[in-house]
Amino acid sequence: MKKDDKASISLKKVISVSIILLLFMSISVMAVNSKVKTVRIILSNGYEMDVLTTKEKVSDILDENHIILLPDENVIPDKNGSISDNNTIRITNDSNLEIKTAEVLQTSSDITVESLLEENYGNVVEKLVVEQNTIPFETVTNDVSTGTGAKKEVVKQKGVDGVSETTYKVKYQDDVEISRSEYSTQIIKEPVSKVVEIKDVEVASRSTVNRANANAEQIATAANAVQNATNNGNSLAAKVEGKTPSVVTLNASAYTASTCGKSPNSSGYGITSSGARASAWCTLAAGKGYPVGTIMYIPYFANKPNGGWFVVQDRGGAISNNKVDIYMNTYNECINFGRRNLECYVYVP
């Protein structure tokens, strides 16, 4: 081999080695410039994670770790900015941001939202809070009555309140509640409905007449009624002044001339069995236990034109000693009154 050829080969080797050295140095510089660092990422739920990265931009670091921001979340530093000197990325939601912003405005215009969040985020705590609530029972009413007589309510089943349990996610800042949202609700105890039946008042088949003398309170009531009615010119009350009545409970209904089976053209139309013409708010039909002329004071009718004073003038096929029939002007008045048990003060002649 010639000396010139050997020199040429040596020169090529030197050039090749130089190129390799230059490439190695460039890679080393790039490696230095792309230094791997540890970055702490704090999620909005408080979870923390440390990641290794060579990235500087916040969005690149999040993408690298497959972290996607929700619509109500924010990131500090800004996702388009670079990682801060403390190598920490903090994700928070809008409600936290609003609270901290308010504190910033109250404290100083020189303090940024980001710095305040980084300093005080640890004071926000989220807890699950369970609360029990009452479920009011409903009332179910069943009307099993018939006719237009007196009625009463009977409780067939008592109502019982139910209980529900609701779990809330509650956020506290320095032990002060700042927000809550319902997490779940379940019924612990179902409510029991109250069941009420409306029934007809049953009229006892045996006599309900109380023959006992009136007590002191009833005597005083009767005396006051007599005095007031006498002062107002009521002739029936004047007839019993100074007398003590017996107090009875009678089942009362109402009738009028058109319900007595007589034609309006009949000579006996509107005439009672005593021979007197029936008069509204005066005439009573009663059983044979009450002689014609017996005067009764019925407090239920105290506000009527007669002041509650009646006289027995009539009989009836369906009228027994525990019943009384009150004469009224019209059939509609009778239907509206219906049938009911009334306390009566009886003055037998």
How far lies 195's CA from each of 136, 143, 148, in Å? 14, 11, 22
Other residues' Cβ atoms within 10 Å of the Cβ of residue 235? 10
- pTM summary value: 0.39
Other residues' Cβ atoms within 10 Å of the Cβ of residue 249? 14
The predicted structure's pLDDT at residue 108: 45
Low-confidence stretches of the chain (pLDDT < 70) are 1-11, 14, 24-34, 94-122, 147-149, 202-214
What is the per-residue pLDDT across 16-52, written as a single tens digit (0 to 9) for each? 777 777 776 665 545 445 578 888 988 888 888 888 8
| Domains parsed from the chain with CATH numbers | 37-111 (3.10.20), 126-200 (2.20.230.10), 216-347 (2.40.40.10)
The predicted structure's pLDDT at residue 27: 56
Beta-strand pair 139-143/194-200: parallel
The predicted structure's pLDDT at residue 162: 92
The predicted structure's pLDDT at residue 30: 53
The predicted structure's pLDDT at residue 136: 94
